[in-house]
Amino acid sequence: DIVMTQSPLSLPVAPGEPASISCRSSQSLLHSNGYNYLDWYLQRPGQSPQRLIYLGANRAPGVPARFTAITSGTDFTLKISRVEAEDVGIYYCMQALQTPWTFGQGTKVEIK
């Protein structure tokens, strides 16, 4: 199975400050179509997960522009330019290249 490793696991951030979450895969997530099969999801407290990013760096419809994602080999990063109160929750990376699809451990973002 592909192992996804996130860091940090906890991230307190002051409102308006930037935040960055890292995710590393144990093997390449590059599909034969040239895209990384890596998604990012946010699970707000008490809610179901929601899609933020797909194919490594593509923002899903309705996701604010303050969320960006970059890829570099097996390293993936989700960046929030200026954290807002509604960004609180647990962020997960997930690989969809091969089954079983696997998630990172999750990064809990909270407001300082």
Chain residues that interact with other proteins, rule: CB under 8 A: 31, 33, 35, 37, 39, 41, 43, 48-51, 53-55, 58, 60, 90, 92, 94, 96, 99-106
The answer to whether the CB of 43 falls within 8 A of the CB of 86 is: no
CA–CA separation, 51 vs 63, rounded Å? 9
User: Closest CB to other proteins among 22 and 106?
Assistant: 106
Q: What is the largest CA-CA distance in the chain?
A: 42
Task: Say which DSSP state 94 is in.
Answer: E
Q: Toward other proteins, which CB reaches closer, 16 or 47? A: 47
Q: Shortest Cβ distance from residue 77 to other proteins (Å)?
A: 17
> Which residue number, 16 or 34, has a Cβ lying nearer to other proteins?
34
Q: Which residues, including other chains, have CB under 8 Å from residue 103's CB and lie 6 or more apart?
A: 4, 92, 93, 94
* Shortest distance in whole angstroms from residue 88 CB to other proteins: 17
